[in-house]
Amino acid sequence: MLDDTARTAHERHLVRYSGRGAFSPEIIDHAAGSSVVTEDGRELLDFTSGQMSAILGHAHPEIVATVREQVGRLDHLYSGMLSRPVLDLAQRLAGTLPEPLDKAMFLTTGAEANEAALRMAKMVTGGHEVVSFARSWHGMTQAAANATYSTGRAGYGPAAPGNFALPVPDRFRPDIVDADGNLDWRRQLDLGFDLIDAQSVGSLAACLVEPILSSGGVVDLPPGYLAALRDKCHERGMLLILDEAQTGLCRTGDWYAFERDGVVPDILTLSKTLGAGLPLAAVLTSAEIEQQAHDRGFLFFTTHVNDPLPAAVGNTVLDVLIRDRLDLRARELGGRLRGGLDELAGKHPMIGDVRGRGLLVGLELVNGPSGEDADKLGAAVTHRCAELGLHMNIVQLPGMGGTFRIAPPLTTTDAEIDRGLAILDTALTDVTGLHRNTRRGAA
């Protein structure tokens, strides 16, 4: 737990950057593999890969070696200078992607990458209007924040005009259903674009979406949806931008989540997983779009654009992913995780749904045995998991606090998956018992 000195530093000097305001009650001293360790020696199994980023676990020896070597050789350059790590990463990353995605620029965060992608789309199309999902999260910079609907919109004045929300095709909680009560996503998509067309001033530029909405509740787009969305975009002269911050680079069992649907985006953004926890992001597009943007004066650079140090880390990430076949490993571990969660769902009635792909899995709680609110249950289970040695993350949206985003590193062992499932089982059992006992005591 925080000692008096740490508590004073925390309360007096740290800005609270989340609406919920709470920091962890413990200070993390070090981390390795799938575990983080507190200052007082308590180990927590990390089922969120840090901030959904550390796909190779913490302190991976090859990442550590790359940073040590590269920082002593070449760390930062003037933005117009070239370095070998940047050239290598651009060529190698393009080699993992289908044509025509063969042009890359490297930045630091997902928000920056989405910002650059949206500016490029606006420059190429001549439009300014942007469509994204109603539970989207794309970052906190201006255009990315305007395309983010899950949270953070209230209190900052008017958003830029021309941003439209598209209904989320949530199969567990469908809002438009067919005769059998299942999500009718085609009718939902048609209706969504009917409304967008009615509001548009004829200046549609881009649609920015995640193939699996992570912060929006780990909602996997139904098979066929992405292709239909692409067609809607192209019919209107819009570019389709896919944000694969959390799904890219083997997490879902494929190198990229869009591969399942055979849909190649006009622009792809990568971030979190590309640096395996270090600040590295990328924008990838076709030579044609890059040329059009350049000819029209496209401008986007930051202090750390195409820096050699993070690019060297990106190359090492690709080395490990390819050598260790971590796409296949994510499928195997994902099957093990999903199977264990399905067993828990059969045991604990409060689990309403298990969904996702590979090692990005959502588990949604519904009301408890005595009608307890799912948000409160989620918070209680999260707290109990932490006490038992498992770090879990719930969706930070009102009404969705009972939905867990489970994303262990791709280097997690079978034994660690099993240990995490066992801890979650105990936490669910303990919370259920606590709520039952509380109800009896009140009666």
Q: Which of 297, 323, 349 is the last residue of a domain?
A: 323
Task: For residue 435, name the pLDDT band (cuts at 50, 70, 90).
Answer: low
Do residues 172 and 285 share a domain? yes
Structure tokens at 22: 């709470």
Q: Is the pLDDT of residue 443 over 50?
A: no
The reply to whether 301 falls in a domain is yes
Residue 310 near residue 275 (C-beta atoms within 8 A): yes
pTM score, whole prediction: 0.95
Q: Is the pLDDT of residue 5 over 80?
A: no
Compute CA distances 418 → 31, 407, 432, whole Å: 20, 14, 21
Known catalytic residues are: 137, 210, 243, 246, 272, 405
Do residues 112 and 32 share a domain? no
Q: Which of 266, 298, 323 is the last residue of a domain?
A: 323
pLDDT at 148: 94
The reply to whether 64 falls in a domain is no
Distance CA 163, CA 159 (A): 8
pLDDT at 367: 76
Do residues 297 and 266 share a domain? yes
| pLDDT one-digit tens code per residue, 134-144 | 999 999 999 99
Residue 266 near residue 240 (C-beta atoms within 8 A): yes
Question: Mean pLDDT in the chain?
Answer: 94
Contacts of 325 (CB under 8 A, 6+ apart): none
Do residues 88 and 211 share a domain? yes
Distance CA 197, CA 209 (A): 18
Residue 283 CB burial class (10 angstroms; 0-12, 13-18, ≥19): buried
Q: Is the pLDDT of residue 161 over 80?
A: yes
pLDDT at 293: 98
The reply to whether 285 falls in a domain is yes
Task: For residue 168, name the pLDDT band (cuts at 50, 70, 90).
Answer: very high
pLDDT at 17: 84
Q: Is the pLDDT of residue 8 over 80?
A: no
Where b means 16+ CB within 10 Å and e means fewer, 303-332 reads: ebbbbbbbbbbbbbbbebbeeeebbebbbe
Domain span at residue 261?
74-323
The reply to whether 66 falls in a domain is no
Number of domains in the chain: 2
Look up the CATH number of the domain holding residue 378: 3.90.1150.10
Residue 421 near residue 340 (C-beta atoms within 8 A): yes
The reply to whether 81 falls in a domain is yes
% of the chain beyond a pLDDT of 70: 94
Q: How many Å is the maximal CA-CA distance in the chain?
A: 73
Do residues 331 and 279 share a domain? no
| pLDDT one-digit tens code per residue, 111-128 | 999 999 999 999 999 999
Task: For residue 25, name the pLDDT band (cuts at 50, 70, 90).
Answer: confident
Do residues 283 and 140 share a domain? yes
Compute CA distances 225 → 188, 212, 230, 244, whole Å: 11, 11, 9, 16
Beta bridge partners of 356: 361
Q: Is the pLDDT of residue 20 over 70?
A: no
Distance CA 211, CA 224 (A): 12
Do residues 271 and 358 share a domain? no
The reply to whether 68 falls in a domain is no
Q: Is the pLDDT of residue 281 over 80?
A: yes
Q: Is the pLDDT of residue 254 over 60?
A: yes
Amino acid making up residue 347: K
- Judged by average pLDDT, the poorest of 244-253, 362-371, 403-412 is 362-371
Q: Which of 307, 323, 339 is the last residue of a domain?
A: 323
| pLDDT one-digit tens code per residue, 50-61 | 999 999 999 999
Task: For residue 369, name the pLDDT band (cuts at 50, 70, 90).
Answer: low
Do residues 206 and 117 share a domain? yes
Computed on alpha carbons and rounded to an integer, the radius of gyration of the chain in Å comes to 22
Look up the CATH number of the domain holding residue 285: 3.40.640.10
The reply to whether 392 falls in a domain is yes
Do residues 54 and 119 share a domain? no
CA 241 to chain CA centroid, Å, is 15
Do residues 335 and 275 share a domain? no
Residue 313: CA atoms inside 13 Å, Cβ hemisphere, count?
Answer: 30
pLDDT at 434: 64
Do residues 171 and 219 share a domain? yes
The reply to whether 67 falls in a domain is no
Nearest Cα residue to 433 out of 387, 394, 381: 381
pLDDT at 9: 74
Do residues 210 and 103 share a domain? yes
